[in-house]
Structure 1
Amino acid sequence: MNIRQIETFLAVAESGSFRRAAELLHRSQSVVSVHVQQLEEDLGVPLLERTTRRVSLTPEGRTFLLRCKGVMADLKEVAQQLREESILRRGRVSIGAAPSVSTHRLPPIIAAYQRLYPGVTLELHEAFAKGMYNDVLERVTDFAIGPRVSGLKDFDIQPIIRDPIVAVLPNSIALNTGSTVTLKRIAREPQLSMPRGTAIRETVERAFQDAGFDFSPRFEVMHQQTLFSLIEAGLGVTLLPFMSVPPDRKGQYHVAVLKDPAITREICLITLKGKKLSPAASTCAEMIASELQSQFKQSSQLQRRGSKT
């Protein structure tokens, strides 16, 4: 037996006609007939009953048909998997990311992906939220990882994690509440902030306005690392997504969960609506989403501690 003979038999059995099977397979009717005869000789049993008007299956033919359909489906699935694995040995994936994602959380995931698929070339494009979405829209990036922006219709947005907004304070500011702090308490300190136009700046300003507090930052800077340096120098406090805070922070600042009100943002996988990712890009996106969820078990524990305090 060979695959071509089985493929021919399936076409005849399912179409009920040698002529129709020949048309479907783009083979001559005589070749189709020879393939079926060879298969029957190899098996030692008749598979088809032939009359001038129709072709029907023998009992042995029905049994063989059922088993062959399953085998051929398995073979097609294996072939598809092998093709996709072959694609993953090469190719290019362009990732868009908000700076809060790319600074600390994304690099180890990219490194792990690169070890698994060294033949795939990765590109990383950092941008604040609006620029990140525009890069996906303009196909500069295959997908993006960042905060949800409401009111956009051209994207498929898949939630990954809930990222709490936390207060980052110099150690000189003591908190009686331990790991939590209220917005009212934070509003009494000099504010440090990301610039206007960033998603976190808009979130923080809205929170201050809703609570009736004035928001006039002492310093506005482009890079989050500068914020941490300013805090270490004792120049103020800031509100940032928990994802922005270095996991292994060692410095003159500490982190407290914001409560009254508690604020979170949604980090999502963003793709262009109707666009199917390549196997390499799809595998990369799935790996990033899975690893971020794993990393943020720590974030969930932090939120639970804060809610009990």
Structure 2
Amino acid sequence: MDIRNIKTFQTIIKLGSFQRAAEELQYGQSTVTMHIQKLEGDLGVKLLERGKKLKLTEAGRLFHQNADMLLKDYDFLHTSIAELIQGEAGIVRIGVMEPTASYRLPSILGPFLQQHPKVKVSIQIGNTTILGQMLNEGSIDLAICSTPDTGIENTFEPLFNEELALLVPDTHPLAVKEVIHLRDLQNENILITNSLCPYRQKLESSLLEKGGSPYAGMEIGNMAALKFYVQANFGIAVVPVITAMPNPEGTVLKKIQDLDSGLVTGMLRKTSGSSFSTAAEKLISLLREELQTIYRS
């Protein structure tokens, strides 16, 4: 069934004649007649009894009663598709690692969603390994994570370095040491995240390389919680600077001289075989622009 034929039928019933419907719709009267003939042919039933006065058949009354809902559904679908094409609607599924998920993403997403209120965003938080698996399974569209062990199926675009620093209780001997090196962390009680966390992996490889091992470690699964355990004197921790600014009362944030520029964080996407909605492309461009400013700040 052609949606135009349905609109023509409803207009005829509303105005009471073929001629008035033709004037309303700016069609020739022959076009209006053809629309009704085509509609009746598609349905296989007569809808109108022609005569001095139009009369609906039983099938015509049934069709008339339900056609408005059909037209509303069509208009809604047509509008939704148009908004999707224009980037004003759609669903974007993002995987994000910490601390970007908690400390950077909300300030970027807020203004975007105010400007595009019909865009739906789904956020999954996890480490780089988990996010890479989710991307390969198709449960997210892109990931913001550290440098992964990428294969040919994925492409990683570096965006910024997550700066790291040492957080210690203000009563700890390292709190007053002017220059701190990784070797100074040898035999310290270092609070660490789980073994899949890229921050822990970077720290451990750096300690091994530059003389900071061995050390004692207490594992805490949530990175955001590290600063509170340092504050409570459970140990010291190497944390993303953004998570400890301002540093909690009773703690001191110290630079480690030989810990390099930080943890590279970027955007992980499928190399091929996936297409993005216009809304997704808009958000991807915004994420790229906003996160790259960290390089320049």
Show the counterpart of 2:265.
267
- Displacement, 1:222? 0.8
- Displacement, 1:256? 2.2
- Displacement, 1:152? 2.8
Does the 8 Å CA contact 1:84/1:279 hold for their aligned counterparts?
A: no
Show the counterpart of 2:217.
218
Show the counterpart of 2:285.
286
Q: What are the Cα deviations for residues 81-119 of structure 1, in whole angstroms up to 9, with x where unaligned?
A: xx6785322111111101221121111111121112111
Question: More displaced, 135-144 or 257-266?
Answer: 257-266
2:173 matched to 1:175? no
- Shift of the 142–246 alpha-carbon distance from structure 1 to 2, 3 Å rule, reads farther
Aligned to 2:239, the other structure's residue is in SS state strand
Q: What are the Cα deviations for residues 237-286 of structure 1, in whole angstroms up to 9, with x where unaligned?
A: 1113334x244444332322222242522111111111332211121122
Show the counterpart of 1:307.
none
Q: What are the Cα deviations for residues 280-309 of structure 1, in whole angstroms up to 9, with x where unaligned?
A: 1121122122222334545xxxxxxxxxxx
Percent identity over the alignment is: 17
Determine the C-alpha separation between the residues in 2 that align with 1:297 and 1:252: 31
Determine the C-alpha separation between the residues in 1 that align with 2:250 and 2:115: 37
Does the 8 Å CA contact 1:186/1:237 hold for their aligned counterparts?
A: no
Q: How many residue pairs were aligned?
A: 214
- Shift of the 212–183 alpha-carbon distance from structure 1 to 2, 3 Å rule, reads closer
Show the counterpart of 1:257.
255
- Shift of the 242–285 alpha-carbon distance from structure 1 to 2, 3 Å rule, reads farther
Show the counterpart of 1:87.
86
Return 5+ residue gaps in structure 2 as ranges: 1-81
Q: What is the 5 A alignment of 1:114-263? A: 114-173=113-172, 174-177=175-178, 181-243=180-242, 245-263=243-261
Does the 8 Å CA contact 2:143/2:267 hold for their aligned counterparts?
A: yes
Aligned to 2:157, the other structure's residue is in SS state strand
Determine the C-alpha separation between the residues in 1 that align with 2:246 and 2:259: 27
- Displacement, 1:224? 1.4
- Shift of the 192–186 alpha-carbon distance from structure 1 to 2, 3 Å rule, reads same
Aligned to 1:239, the other structure's residue is in SS state strand
Query: Superposition RMSD on alpha carbons, in Å?
Result: 2.4
Does the 8 Å CA contact 1:145/1:268 hold for their aligned counterparts?
A: yes
- Displacement, 1:227? 0.9
- The normalised TM-score by structure 1 is 0.63
Determine the C-alpha separation between the residues in 2 that align with 1:152 and 1:116: 36
Determine the C-alpha separation between the residues in 1 that align with 2:252 and 2:296: 19
- Shift of the 105–249 alpha-carbon distance from structure 1 to 2, 3 Å rule, reads farther
Does the 8 Å CA contact 2:181/2:256 hold for their aligned counterparts?
A: yes
Determine the C-alpha separation between the residues in 2 that align with 1:212 and 1:276: 47
Does the 8 Å CA contact 1:191/1:215 hold for their aligned counterparts?
A: no
- Shift of the 152–241 alpha-carbon distance from structure 1 to 2, 3 Å rule, reads farther
Aligned to 2:163, the other structure's residue is in SS state strand
Determine the C-alpha separation between the residues in 1 that align with 2:217 and 2:196: 17
Determine the C-alpha separation between the residues in 2 that align with 1:295 and 1:250: 23
Does the 8 Å CA contact 1:230/1:236 hold for their aligned counterparts?
A: yes
Structure 2 residue identity aligned to 1:262: D
Does the 8 Å CA contact 1:167/1:255 hold for their aligned counterparts?
A: yes
- The normalised TM-score by structure 2 is 0.65
